[in-house]
């Protein structure tokens, strides 16, 4: 079996679809950018410090990234079920979990480019400049694993329960809470919830100018454990829900 | 070699308060390599559940499924290597991708590269009259074209076993006939093994040599179409009579399929089991003073056979 061909096909399809929906993507980004400007101006009117302003740029960019990544998993699956193509993705000599992994990879590539472009536009617009060390790719990637894990959980739930949009919207607001949490509290909870600790480390790199190697081993370990725990949990829940969907004959339903 | 073997397949769905619905109730059948077999049954008979169990989309409660000798229940992924399916008509394709992009994607999903399938793809586009629409988004195609594309996408995967669940559903007569012709050619020219489920008796009768009739999750008949026709040797006759006969007496002894009155003539379509029934009806008509203008022996269709089998089953 030629797994590389399957990988290439899935990634290529993802980018073709993005291109077809370019205008829609552009308008969504513009909407998020306007929202960011409003928040930023609000913060400035409260005479927030430079660190807070810079933190808001990172937080906003991360939130956009997280929502995009999460939607790819949960909303993407629902869309496939609704269009009737989900069952076709199971008819492959590869496995559906691998196929969704390739989709995650394609989505990450696109979202990362968007993240950087978004950061640059925000920096230029606000005049608040951040350090853009190449190491942030690793940090953002690791941080996002937890989001993909939650995406797998919700994707699995949507295979069985179908209507999970309300939970999706709640989670989008939860991501804001997780990103803001380190600015509110020093409590150890930030080690356990998704994306909070990653955001703390990103601030260290992009605001304080540290490199990936300046971060301590413990700081790295917390992020890796947190992210992989969510990803593994997501995959386990997804597999469990997938089995239920197969037992109940729900894969193709919407 | 057997391309597909299904043995004692059971699938129950649990409902509220411990109740279960038997969707598939001990189904067994096999399909030889290169054979086209029809899977016929009314709504809710268990056709789609059986097909989805075969391709691993539904987990059966028990039973064995072998695809080209590979256990499809325990090793679904390996079995799927040689299986493709068209489920529910025009769904199955990406509406945002163009015709050619869909073909490329589904070929790729089975590990077949663009280069490897280029000429095959061109032939399929020509064959299905989709060449002119190769750069058109699938959502802009007519329903018939979308269904043809769905079938082409299943074919481009290059598998030997093809499961077609209601492939002609919602198609106009012309497109449906085109598709039937193409399905037949697939088995003859390419040696593909096809299991085709359909409500449409004409489709199954036209395309399949053998038919499996299923109802309430059980196989009621599994035989060649011609054998079933012989077994249910039902003869349909079209009588044209002058005047209006008393139907009550005719219906008491014979199965009346259809009656039409027009211009003081009666067109009576009856199903007669043997020649004795035929003579009895003629005697009856003569005794009633009816003048017979014309009698025509109609061909037995799969539809009548199907109705007979299902009715016999219902009658216990």
The answer to whether B59 and A247 are in contact (CB under 8 A) is yes
Q: Which two tokens stand for residue B80?
A: 């799927």
Q: Does A247 touch chain B (CB under 8 A)?
A: yes
According to DSSP H, which parts of A162-195 are helical?
Answer: 165-184, 189-192
* Residue of B233 and B297 predicted with greater confidence: B297
Residue B89: pLDDT band (50, 70, 90) is low
Q: Does A24 touch chain B (CB under 8 A)?
A: no
Q: What angle do CA A203, A177, A35 make, to 5 degrees?
A: 80
Residue B163's DSSP bridge partners are B85, B195
pLDDT, tens digit, for every residue of B215-228?
889 998 888 877 77
Size of interface A-B (CB pairs under 8 A): 109
| pTM of the predicted structure, to 2 decimals | 0.81
Q: Do A243 and B85 touch (CB under 8 A)?
A: no
CA neighbor of B31 nearest in space, from B160, B170, B215: B160
Tell me: do B42 and B188 sit in the same domain.
Answer: yes
Tell me: do B178 and B288 sit in the same domain.
Answer: no
Query: In this structure, is residue B224 part of a structural domain?
Result: yes
Distance from CA of B164 to the nearest CA of A (A): 13
Pairing relation of β-strands B161-165 and B235-242?
A: unpaired
Exposure b/e, A32-59, CB count within 10 A at least 16 = b: bbeebeeebeebeeeeeeeeebbbbbbb
- Under 8 Å CB-to-CB from B165, ≥6 apart: which residues? B47, B48, B51, B85, B86, B87, B88, B197
pLDDT, tens digit, for every residue of A56-78?
888 888 888 888 888 877 778 88
* Residue of B28 and A181 predicted with greater confidence: B28
Pairing relation of β-strands B83-86 and B161-165?
A: parallel
Nearest-Å Rg of the Cα atoms of chain A is 19
Q: Which residues of B touch A253 (CB under 8 A)?
A: none
Q: How far apart are CA A204 and CA A202, in angstroms?
A: 5
Largest CA distance in chain B: 76
Query: In this structure, is residue B308 part of a structural domain?
Result: no
Query: In this structure, is residue B304 part of a structural domain?
Result: no
Query: In this structure, is residue B311 part of a structural domain?
Result: no
Residue B112: pLDDT band (50, 70, 90) is very high
Tell me: do B192 and B274 sit in the same domain.
Answer: no
- The pLDDT of residue B272 is 79
Of B230, B249, B282, the last residue of a domain is: B230
Which ipTM score applies to this complex?
0.85
Arithmetic mean of pLDDT, B206-223: 88
Query: In this structure, is residue B310 part of a structural domain?
Result: no
> HSE-up of B14 (CA within 13 Å, CB side)?
9
B295 backbone dihedrals φ, ψ, rounded to 5°:
-130, 135
- The pLDDT of residue B244 is 80
Residue A167: pLDDT band (50, 70, 90) is confident
Q: What angle do CA B36, B42, B48 make, to 5 degrees?
A: 60
- Could you tell me the residue range of the domain that residue B157 belongs to? 2-230
Tell me: do B161 and B269 sit in the same domain.
Answer: no
Arithmetic mean of pLDDT, B8-25: 85
CATH number of the domain bearing residue B257: 3.30.70.260
Q: Which residues of B touch A90 (CB under 8 A)?
A: 55-57, 80
Tell me: do B14 and B30 sit in the same domain.
Answer: yes
Tell me: do B203 and B288 sit in the same domain.
Answer: no
Give the SS3 label for residue A43.
Answer: helix
Arithmetic mean of pLDDT, B81-85: 92
- The pLDDT of residue A125 is 82
Tell me: do B122 and B157 sit in the same domain.
Answer: yes
CATH number of the domain bearing residue B142: 3.40.50.300
Tell me: do B143 and B289 sit in the same domain.
Answer: no
CA neighbor of A97 nearest in space, from A5, A10, A8, A224: A10
- The pLDDT of residue B313 is 64
Ramachandran sector of residue B222 (left: φ over 0; alpha: ψ -120 to 50; beta: rest): beta
Express as a percent the part of chain B with pLDDT over 90.
37
Q: Does A95 touch chain B (CB under 8 A)?
A: yes
Q: How far apart are CA A54 and CA A61, in angstroms?
A: 11
Q: Residue B88 pLDDT > 90, yes or no?
A: no
Distance from CA of A249 to the nearest CA of B (A): 5
pLDDT, tens digit, for every residue of A24-47?
878 877 887 888 888 878 877 776
- The pLDDT of residue A233 is 95
Fill in the DSSP letter of residue B239.
Answer: E
Quick one: closest CA in B to A3, which residue?
Answer: B111
A93 backbone dihedrals φ, ψ, rounded to 5°:
-70, -15
Q: Number of folded domains in chain B?
A: 2
Q: Residue B139 pLDDT > 80, yes or no?
A: yes
Residue with tokens 């536009």: A121
Q: Which of A18, A91, A241, A242 to mutate to test the interface with B (most CBs of B within 10 A)?
A: A91
Residue B83's DSSP bridge partners are B161
Q: Does A91 touch chain B (CB under 8 A)?
A: yes
Quick one: closest CA in A to B90, which residue?
Answer: A84
Distance from CA of B180 to the nearest CA of A (A): 22
Q: How far apart are CA B94 and CA A12, in angstroms?
A: 13
- The pLDDT of residue B299 is 64
Mean pLDDT, chain B, integer: 85
Arithmetic mean of pLDDT, A85-92: 91
Mean pLDDT, chain A, integer: 86
Tell me: do B248 and B153 sit in the same domain.
Answer: no
Q: How far apart are CA A87 and CA A143, in angstroms?
A: 31
Tell me: do B148 and B51 sit in the same domain.
Answer: yes
Tell me: do B198 and B250 sit in the same domain.
Answer: no
Query: In this structure, is residue B226 part of a structural domain?
Result: yes
Residue B94: pLDDT band (50, 70, 90) is very high
- The pLDDT of residue B302 is 65
């Amino acid at each position: 079996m030629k797994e590389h061909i399957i990988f290439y096909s899935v990634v290529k399809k993802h980018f073709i679809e993005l291109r077809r929906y370019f205008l829609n993507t552009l308008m969504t980004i513009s909407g998020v950018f306007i929202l960011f400007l409003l928040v930023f101006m609000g913060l400035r009117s409260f005479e927030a410090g430079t660190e807070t302003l810079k933190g808001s740029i990172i937080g906003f960019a991360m939130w956009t990234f997280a929502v995009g990544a999460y939607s790819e998993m949960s909303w993407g699956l629902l869309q496939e079920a609704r269009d009737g193509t989900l069952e076709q993705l199971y008819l492959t000599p590869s496995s559906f979990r691998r196929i969704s992994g390739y989709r995650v990879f394609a989505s990450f590539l696109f979202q990362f480019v968007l993240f950087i472009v978004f950061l640059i536009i925000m920096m230029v617009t606000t005049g608040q400049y951040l350090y853009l060390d190449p190491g942030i790719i690793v940090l953002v990637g690791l941080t996002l694993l937890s989001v993909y894990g939650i995406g797998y959980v919700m994707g699995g739930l949507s295979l069985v329960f179908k209507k999970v949009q309300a939970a999706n919207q709640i989670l989008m607001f939860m991501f804001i809470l997780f990103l803001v949490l380190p600015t509110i509290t020093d409590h150890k909870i930030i080690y356990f919830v998704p994306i909070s600790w990653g955001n703390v480390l990103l601030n260290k790199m992009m605001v304080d100018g540290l490199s990936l190697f300046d971060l301590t081993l413990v700081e790295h370990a917390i992020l890796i454990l947190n992210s992989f725990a969510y990803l593994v949990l997501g995959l386990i829940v997804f597999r469990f829900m997938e089995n239920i969907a197969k037992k109940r004959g729900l894969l193709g339903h919407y | 070699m057997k391309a597909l073997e299904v043995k004692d397949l059971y699938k129950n769905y649990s409902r509220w308060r411990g109740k279960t619905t038997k969707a598939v109730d001990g189904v067994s059948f096999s399909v030889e390599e290169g054979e086209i077999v029809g899977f016929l049954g009314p709504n809710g008979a268990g056709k789609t559940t059986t097909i989805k169990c075969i391709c691993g989309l539904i987990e059966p409660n028990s039973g064995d499924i072998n695809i080209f000798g590979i256990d499809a229940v325990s090793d679904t992924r390996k079995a799927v290597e040689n299986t493709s399916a068209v489920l529910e008509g025009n769904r199955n394709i990406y509406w945002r991708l163009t015709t050619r992009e869909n073909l490329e994607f589904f070929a790729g999903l089975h590990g077949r590269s663009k280069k490897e399938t280029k000429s095959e793809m061109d032939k399929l586009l020509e064959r299905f009259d989709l060449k002119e629409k190769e750069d058109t988004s699938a959502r802009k195609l007519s329903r018939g074209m979308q269904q043809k594309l769905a079938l082409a996408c299943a074919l481009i995967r290059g598998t030997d076993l093809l499961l077609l669940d209601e492939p002609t559903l919602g198609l106009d007569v012309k497109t449906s006939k085109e598709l039937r012709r193409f399905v037949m050619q697939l088995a003859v020219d390419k040696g593909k093994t096809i299991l085709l489920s359909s409500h449409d008796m004409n489709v199954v009768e036209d395309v399949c040599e053998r038919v499996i009739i299923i109802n309430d999750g059980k196989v009621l008949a599994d035989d060649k179409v011609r054998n079933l026709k012989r077994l249910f040797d039902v003869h349909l006759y079209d009588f044209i009579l002058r005047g209006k006969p008393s139907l009550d007496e005719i219906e008491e002894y014979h199965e009346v399929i259809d009656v039409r009155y027009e211009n003081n003539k009666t067109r009576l379509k009856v199903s007669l089991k043997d020649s004795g029934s035929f003579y009895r009806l003629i005697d009856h008509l003569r005794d009633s003073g009816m003048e017979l203008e014309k009698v025509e022996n109609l061909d037995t269709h799969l539809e009548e056979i199907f109705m007979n089998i299902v009715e016999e089953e219902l009658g216990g």
